[in-house]
Amino acid sequence: MTEENVEKNQERFEHKVDTKKAFDAGKGITEETIVAISEDKDEPEWMKKRRLKAFRHFKKRPMPNWGPDLSELDFEEISHYVRPDANQSDNWDDVPENIKETFDKLGIPEAEKEALSGVGAQFESQVVYQNMKEEWEEKGVIFCDMDKAVQEHPELVKEYFMTKNVPAQDNKFAALHGAVWSGGSFVYVPEDVEVEIPVQAYFRMNQKGMGQFEHTLIIAEPGSKVHYIEGCSAPQYTRSNLHAGCVEVFVKEDAHVQYSTVQNWSKNTYNLNTKRAKVQGNGVMEWISGSMGSKVTMLYPSSHLNGEGARANHITIGYAGDGQNIDTGAKIVHNAPNTKSTIESKSISQGDGRTNYRGLIRIPKGSHGSKTSIECDALMFDSEATSDTEPYIEIKEDDVEMAHEATVGRIGDEEIHYLTSRGIDEEEAKEMIVRGFIEPIAKELPLEYAVELNRLIELEMEGSLG
C-alpha cells in the first residue's frame, strides 16, 4: 500500500465533523437520564419501564472481575445519548451535508447501489438513513431501525426484545444497554423467504466521550434466510468512548442467518458487546467477525443450539497493536441432540498488543450425537506481543465428537528473508504473510468486506511499522 493510499484510507475513518445536537442527555447516568431518553423518543410506557428496570440491574451488578482491565472506564464521563439534528430519511439526498459527507467517505451509498438489499446508517445515537428495496418489502421483509420498530411493530418487540435471549440481568453491560439503548436494526424475515443479497447497517460515533448503544434484533422465521452485515467506526480522541451494543438473533426451524461484522473503533474506545443467537431445529447460525481498533474489546458471540440438528459456525479475526487488548472468542451451548458447531479463531498481535481467545463449549447430558471443533491460530510480530488461548469445555454426554487445536507462532527471519531476497521489501513481505494468514476468514466475507478487512489490517500495520 503506497503512502498516499494509506493517508487516504486513514482519513476515511479519522474524518470528524462538527454537527448540531438536537438533544444531549449529558454526562453520567441517573434515573432522570433514562426518563429523559425515553421521553425524547416518545416511547410507550412499557419500554420506559423496561429501561428503568434494566438501570436498576446495572446499579446492582459489579464490573467484570476477569478479562481486560476496565478500571479507567468512567461512566460519569460518558454521554450516553446524543441525538443529532437530523431527521431520519429514506432518501440519501435529504441527509444533512456534514453527516452525509462522513458516510460518503465510508462508501455507504455506493455499497447500497451495488450489492445490498437494504441499508441503515446510524450517526451518534440516531439512525439518519434507512432504506429497503421494494422487492423485499413486497415479500413481507421488515428492515427498519429499532426505535421505529417499537412504534410500528410493538407486539414483536415486546415478545423478543431482551426477554428470552439477552435479558438485562445477563451482565453489567447488557443492563446498561437495556437502560440507554438507542437506534440499531430490526430485521424480520417471514417464513420461507430468502433474502438473496445482504442487508447492511453502519454505526458511526463522531463525538468525543460518548457512548453508542445500538440494538439489533433479527427474527428469521422457519425456512427463511438472511445475511446481515454490520460496520462500525469512530475517529480518535483523547477521551474514552464506549460502545456497548447488543445483538439478539432468533433462528427458527430450517432458517439460516449469517451475521458479518467488521469493526474499526478508534483506540480510545471500549468495545463491550453482547451478541447471542437462539437456534431451533436444523437452523444454521453463522458469526463472522473482524475486530480491529479499540483500546479494549470484549466480544464473545454466543449460539444456543436448542433444536435437534441445529448448527453454528463462528469465524473470528482479531488484531491488536500497541496499547490494545483484544479479548474475543465464542460461546456455544449444545442443548439438543445431533447439533454441530465449529469455531475458527485467528489473531495477530504487534508491538505490545495483546490478543486472547476466550471460549466456552457446553454439551449437557442428553445432547448425544453432537460434534464440535475448535481451531485457534495466533501470529505475533514482536517479542513484546502476547497471545493467549483460554478455552473452557464442559461435556456431560458420552456420545459426542470433540476436537481442539491451537497454534501460536512468530513471524520468523527465514520467511522475511525468503521474500526480501526475491525483491519484496520487508514491510510488504510482512503484509503478504498476514494476508495469507487471514485468507481463510476473508474468503467467507462478501468481496467488498474482504477487501476492507485486508485494508484495515494494512492500515494497522502501517501505523505500527511505518
pLDDT score of 456: 66
Per-run averaged pLDDT (10 residues), the chain, 466 residues: 42 45 78 95 97 97 93 92 58 52 49 45 49 73 91 97 96 97 92 87 67 93 93 53 94 96 81 96 94 88 98 92 93 98 92 93 98 93 87 96 87 78 84 78 68 66 48
Place of cell 441525538: 83
86 φ/ψ angles, rounded to the nearest 5 degrees: -155, 125
How far apart CA 367 and CA 395 sit, in angstroms, is: 10
Return the pLDDT at 272: 95
Distance CA 237, CA 253 (A): 45
* Alpha carbon distance 294, 271 (integer Å): 6
Per-residue model confidence (pLDDT) at position 83: 75
How far apart are the C-alpha atoms of 251 and 280, rounded to whole Å?
6
Question: Do 235 and 267 touch, CB atoms closer than 8 A?
Answer: no
Choose among 106, 94, 93, 96: nearest CA to 234.
Answer: 106
What is the domain partition of the chain in residue ranges?
3-465
CB-facing half-sphere around the CA of 156: CA atoms within 13 A: 21
pLDDT at 82: 80
User: Does the global pTM surpass 0.75?
Assistant: yes
According to DSSP H, which parts of 41-191 are helical?
A: 45-60, 97-106, 108-115, 134-137, 146-152, 154-160, 172-180
